[in-house]
Amino acid sequence: MSRIMKTKSATTAAMALLMSASFLTASAYEMNYEVSFEPKTHYINVELTYSSDEINQPVLLKMPVWAPGYYLIVDYPKYLTDFKAEDASGQTLNWEKVGKNGWKFSPKSRQSRLSWRIFANERSVAESRVEENIGFLTPNGVFMHHDGDINHDCHIHFTLPDSWSHISTGLAKEGTTPGCYYAKNFDLLYDSPFLFGNHYTEEFSHEGHTYEFALETPDGYKESPFKEDFKKMVSATTKLIGDVPYDNYCLIHLGKGGGGLEHINSQACYSEGTFRFPSHDQYLRYMSFVTHEYFHLYNVKSIRPIELGPFDYDREVFTPLLWVSEGFTVYYETRLMMSAGICDSEYLLKDLSSYIETIEGKEGHKHMSLRQSSYDIWLNFFNRSENGKDVRISYYDKGPIIGLLMDIEIRSRTNCQKSLDDLMRLLYWRYFKELKRGFTEEEFWQSVAETAGSQLDDIRRYVDTTEDIDYDGILAKAGLGINHDSYQLFRLKDCSKEAEKVRRSMGLEAQ
């Protein structure tokens, strides 16, 4: 929580201090942002001081057209208006639009000032919203970077309306001046949403890391088990991977609505608008949602297909592996809750059964493979055409099924010495930590074979084709069966000792 300065003189002094420090660096240019808000009209005002010794050389600034994790071209520039360019003396600079998301100008002095306004009135986790008591800012649709130099750093200062008191974000503050933040590169900035206003905030420490809850609608929060369950879930995830990829983490939960988006230092989600849930099952679904976005810290932000970073913010980024990034995250959201003691194995089996019912109960699985659903998400993220369920599937539904079946196969083939957990750890430590990159599709399957001790050809075929899955054959290896009318999973009464061992290792014994 930060108290924010309100005076223009203090703001000017803060920016002067930032800029004097900037000129001591070896960078060819510096970018310093000043941001303010107009709650009544839903506008965000942006001023960029661009400083460089290179005069009369054209500069192309770019704004992203999409947000990682949100596989849809949002076209953020559609919200931008009143772009202006001036030199240090206030003289107007000529500029031109380049494509739908580029602005080009030529500096005439060491400092140039660019400004624009962003209309912010969308209830979306990937778009900004400014209202009387709240401001949610998604940096992808507000800030611009120098074309071709996403790794450059930038400084940001926010001036808040007098009635707003708090800033919540996972991005690090800069110095002790309120409202000042620093991003070491634009990938980090674009991955760090902000919540401003008078929302509820709570800071705490857990296992050596700092956390902030930023809740727009905290009704019932203090009476709920959410904070303690969140800690349990974080501990279970840390135990699974063996590492924590952040210093501080901010949980931004907005008012009633739908959708959530993962970030490297935070999550931004719309909620039920209250923590007073009508039933325990509904609370568990909410916890699954939170756990899903949290586990994305590992599975997509760290453990990731090679196409997902460094990002191309100008166009779609296609990968056939979102069934791993999203589908396995769905599988793990409930497994982690079970490991943390938040839910039991009955809830896990019921949850997994629902995905099988969704896939097998519709015609789509006969026409679209899981791999194709990953690649074509850019066409289908919000495609609600009337024939959708007949010709398409979602990796959110079939992905966790494959996660379950792959987990069973690995445990069965290794006498329970290895599991899907070992695959996730291998991908994390080898590619993210050691090689500092994502993995290719073939490297993923090689890692699967390395973990299982042999190729999982049947599982890969279920991913790459629309072939019917042999549920009975694979589930029996974990002492499980399936009702082919209701698609509900159940424990086999009679199974081999090997299958019983696999079932026990998965925590699926009867409670």
Task: Summarize pLDDT for 394-406 with one digit per residue, the tens.
Answer: 999 999 999 999 9
Query: Length of the chain in residues, anyone?
Result: 511
Q: Which among 216, 196, 63 is positioned nearest to 130, based on CA atoms?
A: 196
* Residue 3 confidence (pLDDT) above 70: no
Distance CA 252, CA 268 (A): 5
CATH, domain 202-297, list 2.60.40, 3.30.2010, 1.10.150, 3.90.550: 3.30.2010
Residue ranges, CATH 1.10.390.10, the chain? 320-511
CB count, 10 Å around CB of 251?
Answer: 22
b/e per residue 115-133 (b: at least 16 CB within 10 A):
ebbbbbebebbbbbbbbee
In the prediction, which pLDDT does 380 show? 95
* Residue 457 confidence (pLDDT) above 90: yes
Taking the mean position of all CA atoms in its chain, how far away is CA 424?
A: 18
In the prediction, which pLDDT does 58 show? 96
Model confidence band, residue 125 (pLDDT cutoffs 50, 70, 90): very high
In the prediction, which pLDDT does 140 show? 97
Residues 399/328, Cβ–Cβ less than 8 Å: yes
* Residue 17 confidence (pLDDT) above 70: no
What CATH class has 8-198?
A: mainly beta
* Residue 453 confidence (pLDDT) above 70: yes
Domain 320-511: homologous superfamily in CATH:
Neutral Protease Domain 2 (1.10.390.10)
Query: What is the average per-residue pLDDT within 164-181?
Result: 96
Q: Which among 409, 407, 436, 408 is positioned nearest to 421, based on CA atoms?
A: 407
Give me the phi and psi of 401, to 5 degrees please: -65, -45
Residue ranges, CATH 2.60.40.3650, the chain? 8-198
Model confidence band, residue 27 (pLDDT cutoffs 50, 70, 90): low
Average pLDDT, the chain: 94
In the prediction, which pLDDT does 6 show? 36
In the prediction, which pLDDT does 510 show? 87
Model confidence band, residue 409 (pLDDT cutoffs 50, 70, 90): very high
In the prediction, which pLDDT does 449 show? 98
pLDDT tens-digit map of 32-73: 999 999 999 999 999 999 999 999 999 999 999 999 999 999
- Which residues are 248's β-sheet partners? 210
Residue ranges, CATH 3.30.2010, the chain? 202-297
Model confidence band, residue 511 (pLDDT cutoffs 50, 70, 90): confident
Distant-in-sequence contacts of 379-383, Cβ < 8 A, 24+ apart: 381/70, 381/71, 381/72, 382/72
